[in-house]
Every structure is written in structure tokens, then in C-alpha cells.
Structure 1
Amino acid sequence: MSNRFQSALGYVAPELACQSLRVNEKCDVYGFGVLILEIVTGRRPIEYGEDNVLILNEQVKIMLEEGNVLEYVDESMGEYPEDEVLPVLKLALVCTSQIPSSRPSMTEVVQILQVIKTPIPHRMEAY
């Protein structure tokens, strides 16, 4: 396997890795989710150890379930608002769902990101 393909593998939606379906928006959403995880954590989408392979979205999901996902946030980000980082990580996990129909559309992703960024008092006015 070439290094170029190995580097891209973490961004490829599972259905494309099997080459069973054609590229569509849901594949782009998957890649976007991986990109979010990579930026927030500072880790590569797939890391190869001596005895194991770590898949970033699986690791973040486990950390989230254990309640310590903030420990996975890249220290080089410095200070960050936890109330924005947690929803962004959760959104990234939804974007990287194994089932394409469970992923949001890119329009929905943008809308969710706008809600996350909006200060809480303004969110309440929208309802």
C-alpha cells in the first residue's frame, strides 16, 4: 500500500473503502467530520502502533463515553470554550457515522455549527 493511499485512508468514508458506492455528499460529510476531529485533537485519523491501529473517531467516541474527551483536545489549542468544543466533537462523530444515512447533510452541519457558535442568550431568542 502506498504512503499516499495510507495517508488518505482515514478520510475515506467506509462505503468508499469497499468501493461499493459512488462518491456523494455523505462521503464529503464523513471527510469533514474526520477533519474536525483531526484539528481539535491534533492527532492523525489513523495511527499505526507496533501492535495496533488507532482510529481517531473510535478513540474520541470512547473518550466521550467515558466522560474524559476533553483530555483528548490538542494542548496547542490553548484556552478554548468547553461549551463549544464538546458539541463540535459530537458533531464530528455524527459526521463520521458508519451508516451514510445517519450523517447530516452539509447544510445541516453548517446550521449546527452556527448554533454552537451563537452565544446562549441569542440562542434563547430564536425560540
Structure 2
Amino acid sequence: MKKLVLAATLAVAAIAPIGAAQACGEEPLATYSTTLGGRDHFNSNGQRLTSIGQILQQDRANVNSRNIRDAGDQGDGYFTSVTARGQIAEWIEAGWIDDAARARIMEGSGAVTVYVYDGWIEVVPA
């Protein structure tokens, strides 16, 4: 019985980092890794951003329209327009964020990988 419980635990642990969409086989529209530095935590008026959606939206604006990149920022090919970037906050709310990725974003301390799906976004540590 102990071996069965151990095997089940290891199986769950093996797929847990994969994320919801990858586990069900949905293909992302775009995937990118990014480092969310200090400039990503403030809007163009200098106001501090307080939500993950706002921070990710500012990061994509910095990368795609202002050519402001932190080390490790990748292009995404999807959030190149203001209209597309305007979807980020809503899609974050509909999506899934790993707890470690959430902490990295809010603290500005590390890289995350973002999977963009039709109508939602998944964020995991890079």
C-alpha cells in the first residue's frame, strides 16, 4: 500500500509543474520568458503598478513598443499592439499563476515564463 501511495504522489508531482493547459494538450498562441524589472512595475506616468496583469502589460509595452528590455526578456509576437496588450489583465484573471511566479512578479525578483492561450494566460517560474 505504501508503494502505491508513493507512486501516486510521484506521478502527481511529475505533472504538477506542467500547468493546466499543457496537461490537457492545448497549444499556446505564444510563449515567452521575461524578467520583470523595476521599470515594469511603474506605468509611463510613474505610478506604481499593483496587479500582476498591470505589471505584465507594462512589461509587454516596454518590450514591444518602447524597446526597453531587461536581461532575459524575450519577444512574444502576440502583444505587439495596444489592443492585444489590453487583454492581458483580463486573461490573467481567467488563467493560472504558479505561486512562485506570483511572488517573483510582485517582488520584481526573477524570471517567469508566460503561456498565452485564447482567452487566458498561464504564468510559471522560468
The bucket for the TM-score relative to the shorter chain is under 0.3
Q: Larger strand proportion, structure 1 or 2?
A: 2
Q: Larger helix proportion, structure 1 or 2?
A: 1
TM-score (norm: length of structure 1): 0.27
